[in-house]
Amino acid sequence: MKKIFSHPKSLRNISTHYCSGCGHGIAHRLIAEVVDELGIRERVIGICPVGCAVVAYDYWDFDCSEAAHGRGLAVATAIKRVRPENIVFTYQGDGDLAAIGTNETIHAANRGENLTVIFINNAVYGMTGGQMAPTTLLGQKTATTPEGRTSLMQGWPLKISEMLAMLPGVKYVERASLDSPGGIIKSKKAIKQAFENQINKVGFSLVELLSACPTYWNMPANQSLEWIKNSMIKEFPLGKIK
């Protein structure tokens, strides 16, 4: 028998701190697989966010840097400009990229920096205890919206990928979902495209991944995947945006 699936080389063979059923583990693995397949492990530099994935540098076996909350793309811009031969990507959650880091995100995109952004959208703040994020759905109960989010009080879910796609500097935006084996395979394809764009100097590429947070959605892991399929995808339609 031949081994057909195992741990990618760029992912350390250790247990992560993520909760059971968390989508971060899948996203980490997909990035590691893409880095291995493209043979860029010695060239890649990952920028880790503040959020649940703050210690992602402990899990990836390639060079990483940490950024202050939301400032991933500012740090990535600096590294890419000083070391243009390196492949620089940021890994950011919804609170990091679409709330505290909106300024850095929009301006890095508007400058058309040749960077890759992996945006994990789980509609909630995970690390700080399940508070409302900009991408929280209407009616979704969180620690700070115990009666459910209402447009009157908290506004509508922020579609940051669609907003960024409007900018001329942005070359590739795709939204995929980590809700099923098929969705995970499509997500990997999108991540690979975003990295290839940077290698080919195409420009700013962003992949948004709809990811499960069973702990703060208060449901078992398999139900949280159903919730992505039945609720999240309606608000955040999948596919290539630009």
Partner 1 sequence: MGKIIINKERCKGCMLCITFCPKGFISADKKLNKKGVKPVKFEENPECLGCSMCAIVCPDCCIEVYK
Query: Measured from the CB atom, is 21 or 134 closer to partner 1?
Result: 21
Query: Measured from the CB atom, is 20 or 200 closer to partner 1?
Result: 20
Q: What are the residue ranges of helices labelled H in 83-232?
A: 94-95, 102-110, 151-154, 160-165, 181-199, 214-217, 221-227
Query: Measured from the CB atom, is 6 or 200 closer to partner 1?
Result: 6
List beta partners, residue 17.
none
Phi then psi dihedrals of residue 225, to 5 deg: -70, -35
**Positions that interact with partner 1 (CB under 8 A):** 1-7, 11, 15-16, 18-26, 29, 180-181, 184-185, 214, 220-222, 225
Query: Measured from the CB atom, is 37 or 139 closer to partner 1?
Result: 37
CB < 8 Å & 24+ apart, contacts of 232-236: 232/121, 232/123, 232/137, 232/177, 233/177, 233/179, 235/137, 235/138, 235/157, 236/121, 236/135, 236/157, 236/159, 236/161, 236/175, 236/208, 236/210
Query: Measured from the CB atom, is 159 or 188 closer to partner 1?
Result: 188
Three-state secondary-structure class, residue 126:
coil
Q: What is the C-alpha separation between 203 and 151, in angstroms, rounded?
A: 35
Q: Work out how close the CB of 151 gets to partner 1 at its nearest, in angstroms, rounded to a whole number.
A: 32
Q: Work out how close the CB of 237 gets to partner 1 at its nearest, in angstroms, rounded to a whole number.
A: 22
Q: Work out how close the CB of 192 gets to partner 1 at its nearest, in angstroms, rounded to a whole number.
A: 15
Query: Measured from the CB atom, is 11 or 34 closer to partner 1?
Result: 11
Distances (CA, A) of 235 to 66, 82, 89, 240: 31, 39, 26, 15
Q: Work out how close the CB of 206 gets to partner 1 at its nearest, in angstroms, rounded to a whole number.
A: 22
Does residue 211 contact residue 23 with C-beta atoms inside 8 Å? yes
Q: Work out how close the CB of 181 gets to partner 1 at its nearest, in angstroms, rounded to a whole number.
A: 5
Q: Work out how close the CB of 26 gets to partner 1 at its nearest, in angstroms, rounded to a whole number.
A: 5
Q: What is the C-alpha separation between 146 and 155, in angstroms, rounded?
A: 15
